[in-house]
Amino acid sequence: MKRQSDAPQEHLGSTGGPVMWDGLDLTAELKPFQSKTGDHVFVVDGSRIYDLDHECRSFLDRAFAQNGQANAQQTAALWHALGLSRESEHRYIGGNAIDLPKVRSISLNLAQTCNMACRYCYADEGHFGGRARLMGEEVALATVDRLFLEAEPDARMVLGFMGGEPLLARDLLHRTARYAWEKARREGRDIRFSLTTNGTLIREADAELFRDLPFTVTFSIDGTRDVHDLLRPMKNGGGSYDAMISGLETIERVGRPLQLAARATVTARTGRLLPLLDHMIELGFDDVGFSPVLVSPDPKLAFSAADFQTFLSHMIECGEKALREIKAGRSYPFGNLESALQEIHRGTHRPFPCGAGAGYLSANAEGKLFACHRLIDDPAFAMGDVRNGSDEAARTRHLSRSHVDLMEPCKRCWARYLCGGGCYHEVKARGRLACDYIRGWLEFCLCAYVELSNEASALAPVTGMPETINSLNKVSSEAAVHAPPSNA
Ligand code: SF4
Ligand code: SF4
């Protein structure tokens, strides 16, 4: 057996002291999988991957045939065989509450209104179920001040601009970004900006702002013209593709921001994804990702559990093309695969799906804070306001009830420390429909990771490739052969 990844582990959860492995449900702790290069096991605690020799694979097969229940002696032997004897004295992650992180990222909903009428929009065209409104300057600047107050002095802060369509509040966006940038320079702080936009309103002055300050600009684009125009009409019913492309051309002409990303929303009717991915990558985005719709005012567009089976096969088709391109030394920035590979490589193990309510908050037009941009104006996720500060008690309550080890059925799921239990907004509205898809996609990504790391030393570093792929070259491939379980 050899350890695939020797990346340092993140400790996002309290270890809660020593926890022995006796009586473990192995199906919740180990995920055996088979790649083109052989048999492997994913150790859930700490997100580690090991190669399996034939005898260990046989032991696991027998343990799993008994529904994953292995007695203490067998489990100890398996852990010894995996070379985990010393590490087994404690867990990397436990069910105890974590220390409340400092806020380091706040998004501003500058314009809770939109110039488009996307058919699936969860935000009710930016109104979030209320009336259309724009944020005032006093609220926007107070949000910046609040971020600087709450973030650690040496943290990299992120100020996000969202909506609705944030460029409907263009002047305020410019003033707020410049205010935050100057304040960061004066105080010696590190700040970055992000903007999510439909791209239809971008002018040269906007592109200059995104070029001159450290901006990640994410376009909402659904793929080719026909798919995009069908789902993302303007308010007058006309298509938005041409206006979006015009915004993209303005950015290309003026100069690119730090990162230019595309996020495509996939509905139950979208169909194959590969032609859409090819098209968006050809448009020149640095990162292209897909997000399925679970919450939509038009229920025909929202995914059912059955739709996720088709989605998985379409995602794997994209992932296989990305793998071929990577192996051929060509850039193919499929964001869903890249982010999964990065998490696997880092050994990420986290008890939450995202930073909502933890290090990340979102401010509505009046300056009230919520756990994230999708949970704006939901009283169950209210977390203070920008003038008086984030509500630490509400954030602590939110995190202590959201730990993935406390959730059913998550606490018995092998994918739990990579998945984190599912988006709060989607779980609240639809429950957990996507679990088989999440596990299927992660298993594909685990196989892809092993294949790439085995081949990495043979691949020359490629200019423009994601850092993860190139850094796989650095993964140790030292073999550590251990005896198989003696009592298997
Ligand atoms: S949401 Fe589903 S896939 Fe994610 S941890 Fe929970 S059970 Fe597993
Ligand atoms: S709750 Fe959902 S939408 Fe909000 S930040 Fe988390 S994953 Fe994203």
Domain CATH code at residue 120: 3.20.20.70
Atom of ligand 2 nearest to the CA of 426: 2
Using one digit for the tens of pLDDT, what is the confidence trace for 322-356?
999 999 999 999 999 999 999 999 988 899 999 99
* 82 and 112 share one domain: no
For ligand 2, pick from 424, 426, 432 the residue to mutate: most ligand atoms within 8 Å of CB: 424
Does residue 441 lie in a domain region? yes
Q: Find the mean pLDDT for residues 410-439.
A: 95
d(CA 336, ligand 2 centre) in Å: 15
All residues at 6 or more sequence positions from 91 whose CB lies less than 8 Å from its CB, including other chains? 15, 16, 19, 45, 46
Greater model confidence, 100 or 7: 100
Q: Does the pLDDT at position 122 exceed 90?
A: no
Is residue 323 domain-resident?
no
**Residue 33: pLDDT band by 50, 70, 90 thresholds?**
very high
- Provide mean pLDDT across the span 137-150: 98
Protein residue whose Cα sits closest to atom 6 of ligand 1: 410
| Residue 388 lies inside a defined structural domain of this protein | no
In the chain, what percentage of residues exceed pLDDT 90? 65
Q: Nearest ligand to the C-alpha of residue 434?
A: 1
Give me the amino acid identity at 485.
Answer: P
Domain match, 70 and 168 both: no
- Judgement on whether residues 169 and 27 belong to the same structural domain of the protein: no
Share of the chain above pLDDT 70, in %: 81
Cis, bond preceding 461 (omega within 30 deg of 0)? no
**Do 27 and 161 fall within a single domain?**
no
Q: How many other CB atoms are found less than 10 A from the CB of residue 143?
A: 27
In a domain, 328, yes or no: no
Q: Judge if 52 and 140 occupy the same domain.
A: no
Q: What's the confidence (pLDDT) of residue 63?
A: 76
The pLDDT-based confidence of 297 (bands split at 50, 70, 90) is: confident
Identify whether residues 257 and 127 lie together within a single domain: yes
Counting from 1 in the atom list of ligand 1, the atom nearest the Cα of 419 is 4
Q: Which domain holds residue 55?
A: 2-92+435-474
Q: How many structural domains are present in the chain? A: 2
81 and 113 assigned to the same domain: no
Structure tokens at 21: 């492995």
Angle between helix 204-212 and helix 241-254 axes, rounded to 10 deg: 50
Each residue of 78-100: pLDDT tens digit?
777 666 654 445 677 776 667 89
Residues whose CB falls within 8 Å of the CB of residue 13, separated by 6 or more in sequence, listed in order:
92, 93, 94, 95, 96, 98, 349, 350, 351, 403
Q: Are 355 and 16 in contact (CB under 8 A)?
A: no
201 close to 247: Cβ distance less than 8 angstroms: yes
Residue 353 CA: nearest ligand 1 atom is: 4
403 pLDDT band, cuts 50/70/90, is very high
pLDDT of residue 82: 66
* Residue 326 is assigned to a structural domain of this protein: no
| pLDDT attached to residue 128 | 57
Kindly identify the ligand whose nearest atom is closest to the C-alpha of 426. 2
Q: Measure the CA angle with vertex 171, ends 168 and 175; round to 5°.
A: 135
Instruction: Specify whether 83 is located in the same domain as 126.
Output: no
* CA atoms of 417 and 414, how far apart (whole Å): 8
- 244 and 223 in a single domain? The answer is yes
Same domain, 20 and 52: yes
| Within a domain: 425 | no
Query: What was the pLDDT predicted at 24?
Result: 67
Res 9: pLDDT: 31
Would residue 428 count as lying in a domain?
no
Q: Is the pLDDT of residue 466 over 70?
A: no
Question: Is pLDDT at 357 greater than 90 in this prediction?
Answer: yes
Q: What is the pLDDT of residue 99?
A: 86
pLDDT digits (tens, 9 = 90+) for 225-280: 999 998 899 988 899 999 999 999 999 999 999 999 999 999 999 999 999 999 99
Residues 203 and 287 in one domain: yes
